[in-house]
Chains A and B, each alone.
Chain A
Amino acid sequence: MNLPKELEIQKEEIRGYAESYNLDFYETIFEMVEFDELNEVASYGGFPTRYPHWRFGMEYEELSKGYSYGLQKIYELVINNDPCYAYLMKCNNLVDQKLVMAHVYGHCDFFKNNLWFSHTNRKMMDQMANHGTRIRRYVEKYGEETVEDFIEVCLSLENLIDPHLPHIKRKADNGKVNGKQQEDSENGSPVRLKSQKSYMDSFINPAEFLEEQKQLSKKRELEKRKRIPEEPQRDILQFLLEYAPLERWQADILSIIRDEAYYFSPQGQTKIMNEGWATYWHSTIMTRKCLTDAELIDYADHHSGTLMTSTGRLNPYKLGVELFRDIEDRWNKGKFGKEYEECEDWQVKENWDKNLGLGQEKIFEVRKLYNDLMFIDAFLTPDFCRQHNLFVYEFNDRTDYYEISDRDFQIIKQKLLFSLTNFGQPSIYVENANYFNRAELYLKQKHEGVDLKMSEARDTLANLYKIWTRPVHLETIVDEVKTQLTFDGQEHSEIEID
Chain B
Amino acid sequence: MVKKIDKDQARFRQIIRGKVKKNLRKYITQGELIGKKGKELVSIPVPQIRLPHFRYSIKKAGGVGQGKGEIGTPIGRGDDGQIPGAGDAPGQHILEVDVSLEELAEMLAEELELPNIEAKGKKNITSDKDKYTGISQVGPESLRHFKRTYKQALKRQLISGTYNPLDPVIIPVREDKRYRSWKVTSKPESNAVIIYMMDVSGSMGDEQKEIVRIESFWIDTWLNYQYKNIETRYIIHDAVAREVDKETFYHTRESGGTIISSAYKTADKMINEFYNPNEWNIYLFHFSDGDNWGEIDTDECVMLLKENLLPKINLFCYGQVESPYGSGQFIRDLEDFLLDEENIVLSEIPDKDGIYDSIKEFLGKGR
Q: A70 to chain B: which residues have CB within 8 Å?
A: 97
Inter-chain contact A301/B66, CB cutoff 8 Å: no
Inter-chain contact A156/B52, CB cutoff 8 Å: yes
Q: Given the known A-B contacts A309-B67, A312-B65, are A404 and B92 also in contact in the complex, defined by CB atoms under 8 Å?
A: no
| Interface flag for B39 (CB, 8 Å) | no
Inter-chain contact A313/B65, CB cutoff 8 Å: yes
Q: Which residue, B66, B71, B85, has most C-beta atoms of chain A within 10 A?
A: B66
Contact of B56 (CB < 8 Å), options: A49, A393, A424: A424
Stretch at the interface among A37-45, A181-189, A194-202, A329-337: A37-45
The residue on A at minimum CB distance from B79 is: A400
Q: Given the known A-B contacts A65-B46, A305-B95, are A402 and B33 also in contact in the complex, defined by CB atoms under 8 Å?
A: no
Inter-chain contact A305/B5, CB cutoff 8 Å: no
Q: B3 to chain A: which residues have CB within 8 Å?
A: 36-37, 40
* Cα–Cα distance between A478 and B9 once the two chains are bound (Å): 38
Chain A 294-341 residues near chain B, CB threshold 8 A: 296-298, 301, 305-306, 308-319
| Interface flag for B75 (CB, 8 Å) | yes
Inter-chain contact B75/A419, CB cutoff 8 Å: no
Q: B97 to chain A: which residues have CB within 8 Å?
A: 69-71
For the complex formed, measure the closest distance between the CB of A136 and the CB atoms of chain B, giving whole angstroms.
Answer: 11
* Cα–Cα distance between A293 and B151 once the two chains are bound (Å): 12
Q: Given the known A-B contacts A40-B3, A57-B8, A65-B46, are A156 and B53 also in contact in the complex, defined by CB atoms under 8 Å?
A: yes
Inter-chain contact A399/B5, CB cutoff 8 Å: no
Inter-chain contact B77/A416, CB cutoff 8 Å: no
- The interface size of chain A toward B, counting residues with CB under 8 Å, comes to 102
Inter-chain contact B64/A416, CB cutoff 8 Å: yes
Q: A230 to chain B: which residues have CB within 8 Å?
A: none
* Cα–Cα distance between A403 and B69 once the two chains are bound (Å): 10
For the complex formed, measure the closest distance between the CB of B18 and the CB atoms of chain A, giving whole angstroms.
Answer: 14
Inter-chain contact A460/B103, CB cutoff 8 Å: no
- The interface size of chain B toward A, counting residues with CB under 8 Å, comes to 75
Contact of B87 (CB < 8 Å), options: A313, A390, A403: A313
Known: A77-B91, A424-B56. 17 other contacts (CB 8 A): A52-B7, A57-B7, A57-B8, A69-B44, A71-B94, A156-B52, A311-B65, A312-B66, A314-B85, A319-B66, A389-B66, A393-B62, A405-B71, A419-B64, A425-B53, A456-B52, A459-B52
A-B CB proximity, top 10 nearest: A57-B8, A311-B67, A57-B9, A459-B52, A312-B84, A312-B75, A57-B12, A401-B74, A54-B12, A456-B52
- Which residues in B have some Cβ–Cβ distance to A below 8 Å? 3-5, 7-13, 15, 20-21, 24, 31, 33-35, 44, 46, 48-49, 51-78, 80, 83-85, 87-88, 90-97, 99, 103, 107, 146-147, 150-151, 154, 165, 168, 170
* 26 cross-chain CB contacts under 8 A: A46-B90, A46-B91, A54-B11, A57-B12, A57-B13, A69-B107, A70-B97, A71-B96, A76-B91, A78-B91, A293-B165, A293-B168, A311-B67, A312-B76, A312-B85, A313-B85, A314-B66, A315-B88, A404-B71, A412-B64, A425-B56, A453-B56, A453-B57, A453-B58, A463-B52, A474-B54
